[in-house]
C-alpha cells in the first residue's frame, strides 16, 4: 500500500507527467538512501522509455502511460533494494547495442568492449566462437560489427542462454551473421568445430576473494559466471588447452582475464607450444586484462 501512496498514478488508469514520475521516484530512492536520487530517477525514466539520459529533463511535461509508469516504479523499488542499475531497469549498453539483462547473466562491462575491439582489429571474419556468452554481448557485437560467416555462443547455464536468445531475437534485424546458441560447459558444445576466433570472458575470481567484491556484484550477479577453482584459473586453463584444437592456423585466441592473473594466462599460452604472438592488452583504465594469442 505504501508503494501506491508514494506513487498514486499506479492506482489509476491515467498517465503521468515525466516530471511527476521523476519526483516520485526520486523521493522513494532518497528514502532508501540511494546516492544522487534525482539523477537516478531521471536515468530510470530514460531507460524505460529507451531515450538518452537528458530526455526526462528536456521533456518534463511529456506523459508516460500506465505501463511505463509501472515499469519505472518497479525499477526504482529494485534499485532501492540494492540492485545494480542495469538489473533494475532490465537493460545495459554494450558498444552500440542495448541488451536485455537480469540476474541470470553478468552485466556487460567496458573492459569487455576492449576485448571485442581487439578481436575486430585482428580477426574480423571467418567463424567466431564465444564461450560463456551470458547475455550474448560479445557474440552479438561480433555478429553486428564483424564480417563473420557465423557466430557460435555457448553457456553452461540454460537460464543465461534464455537471456541471450531474447537478445538475439530482438536484434535479429541488425545481425550481419547468424548467431547459434549452444548449451554446455566451456568448449564441450563446440568440439569438432573449427574457428578463426575463440573468445571468452570466463569466471576468474577465487572463492576466497568473494569478500572483496562490491556488494552489488557479490549479492546480485550469478556466481557461476564469477568464480573459478584453481586460484581462479580453472576455466582459463581449459580454454587455452582445449582451444588449440578448435582454432584454425593463425586463428585468434582472445580472453578477458583478471589483472592479477594476466601474466599467468600468458605463461600458459606460451608454454602450451601451439600458440605464438602471445600478448596482454590493457583496458581503459590501463590494467592488463586482455590475453591475445595466435594459433601456430
Q: Look at residue 68 and tell me if it is in a domain.
A: yes
- CB-CB contact of 61 with 33 (8 Å): no
| Domain boundary pick from 57, 81, 105 | 81
121 shares a domain with 41: no
96 shares a domain with 75: no
247 shares a domain with 102: yes
Report in angstroms the alpha-carbon separations of 59 from 13, 18, 78, 129.
21, 7, 25, 43
183 shares a domain with 96: yes
134 shares a domain with 44: no
Q: Look at residue 87 and tell me if it is in a domain.
A: no
Can you give the pTM of this predicted structure?
0.92
**90 dihedral zone (left: phi>0; alpha: psi -120 to 50; beta):** left
280 shares a domain with 215: yes
Task: Say which CATH number the domain at 134 has.
Answer: 3.40.50.150
210 shares a domain with 63: no
Q: What confidence score (pLDDT) does residue 7 get?
A: 54
Please state, in angstroms and rounded to a whole number, the distance separating the CA atoms of residues 156 and 165.
14
Please state, in angstroms and rounded to a whole number, the distance separating the CA atoms of residues 30 and 78.
13
Q: Look at residue 38 and tell me if it is in a domain.
A: yes
- Count of domains forming the chain: 2
Q: Tell me the backbone φ, ψ of residue 172, rounded to 5 degrees.
A: -55, -35
Instruction: Give the distance, in angstroms, between the CA of residue 258 and the centroid of all CA atoms in the same chain.
Output: 16
Q: Look at residue 32 and tell me if it is in a domain.
A: yes
69, three cell numbers: 509508469
Burial class (CB in 10 A: 0-12, 13-18, 19+), 34: buried
Domain with 12, as residue range(s), is: 2-81
| Domain boundary pick from 24, 56, 81 | 81
Q: Look at residue 86 and tell me if it is in a domain.
A: no
184 shares a domain with 126: yes
Q: Look at residue 219 and tell me if it is in a domain.
A: yes
| Domain boundary pick from 33, 48, 81 | 81
21 shares a domain with 106: no
Q: What confidence score (pLDDT) does residue 198 get?
A: 98
Parallel, antiparallel or unpaired: strands 16-17 and 195-200: unpaired
Please state, in angstroms and rounded to a whole number, the distance separating the CA atoms of residues 113 and 135.
14
200 shares a domain with 60: no
202 shares a domain with 121: yes
Q: Look at residue 181 and tell me if it is in a domain.
A: yes
Q: What confidence score (pLDDT) does residue 15 get?
A: 86
- Per-residue pLDDT of 227-277, as tens digits, reads 999 999 999 999 999 999 999 999 999 999 999 999 999 999 999 999 999
Q: Look at residue 133 and tell me if it is in a domain.
A: yes
Written in H, E and C, the secondary structure of the chain is: CHHHHHCHHHHCCCCEEHHHHHHHHHHHHHHCCCCCHHHHHHHHHHHHCCCCCCHHHHCCCCEECHHHHHHHHHHHHHHHCCCCHHHHHCEEEECCEEEECCCCCCCCCHHHHHHHHHHHHHCCEEEEEEECCCCCHHHHHHHHHCEEEEEEEEECCHHHHHHHHHHHHHCHHHCCCCEEEEECCCCHHHCCCCEEEEEECCCCECHHHHHHCCHHHHCCCCHHHHECCCCCCHHHHHHHHHHCCCEEEEEEEEEECCCCCHHHHHHHHHHHCCEEEEEEEECCCCCEEEEEEEEC
228 shares a domain with 191: yes
Query: Mean pLDDT in each 10-residue stretch from start to end of the chain (296 residues)?
Result: 44 77 95 95 96 95 93 95 96 96 96 97 98 98 98 98 98 97 98 97 95 92 95 97 98 96 97 97 94 98
102, three cell numbers: 537480469
Amino acid at each position: 500500500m505504501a508503494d501506491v501512496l508514494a506513487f498514486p498514478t499506479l492506482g489509476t488508469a491515467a498517465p503521468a507527467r515525466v516530471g511527476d514520475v521523476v519526483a516520485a521516484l526520486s523521493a522513494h530512492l532518497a528514502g532508501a538512501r540511494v546516492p544522487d536520487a534525482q539523477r537516478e530517477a531521471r536515468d530510470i525514466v530514460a531507460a524505460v522509455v529507451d531515450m538518452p539520459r537528458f530526455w526526462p529533463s528536456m521533456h518534463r511535461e511529456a506523459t508516460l502511460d500506465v505501463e511505463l509508469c509501472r515499469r519505472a516504479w518497479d525499477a526504482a523499488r529494485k534499485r532501492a533494494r540494492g540492485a545494480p542499475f542495469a538489473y533494475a531497469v532490465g537493460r545495459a549498453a554494450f558498444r552500440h547495442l542495448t541488451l536485455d539483462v537480469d540476474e541470470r547473466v553478468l552485466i556487460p562491462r567496458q573492459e569487455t568492449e576492449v576485448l571485442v575491439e581487439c578481436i575486430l582489429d585482428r580477426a574480423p571474419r571467418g567463424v567466431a566462437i564465444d564461450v560463456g556468452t551470458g547475455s550474448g554481448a560479445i557474440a552479438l557485437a561480433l555478429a553486428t560489427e564483424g564480417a563473420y560467416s557465423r557466430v557460435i555462443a555457448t553457456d553452461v547455464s540454460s537460464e543465461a542462454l534464455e537471456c541471450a536468445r531474447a537478445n538475439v531475437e530482438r536484434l535479429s534485424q541488425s545481425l550481419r551473421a547468424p548467431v547459434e546458441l549452444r548449451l554446455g560447459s566451456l568448449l564441450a558444445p563446440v568440439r569438432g568445430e573449427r574457428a578463426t576466433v575463440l573468445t571468452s570472458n570466463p569466471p576468474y575470481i577465487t572463492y576466497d576473494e568473494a569478500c572483496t567484491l562490491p556488494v552489488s556484484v557479490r549479492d546480485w550477479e550469478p556466481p557461476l559466471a564469477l568464480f573459478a577453482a584453481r586460484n581462479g584459473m580453472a576455466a582459463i586453463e581449459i580454454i587455452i588447452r582445449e582451444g588449440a584444437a578448435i582454432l584454425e592456423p593463425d586463428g585468434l585466441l582472445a580472453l578477458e582475464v583478471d589483472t592479477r592473473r594476466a601474466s599467468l594466462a600468458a605463461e600458459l599460452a606460451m608454454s602450451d607450444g601451439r600458440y605464438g604472438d602471445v600478448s596482454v592488452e590493457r583496458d581503459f583504465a590501463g590494467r592488463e586484462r586482455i590475453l591475445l594469442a595466435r594459433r601456430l
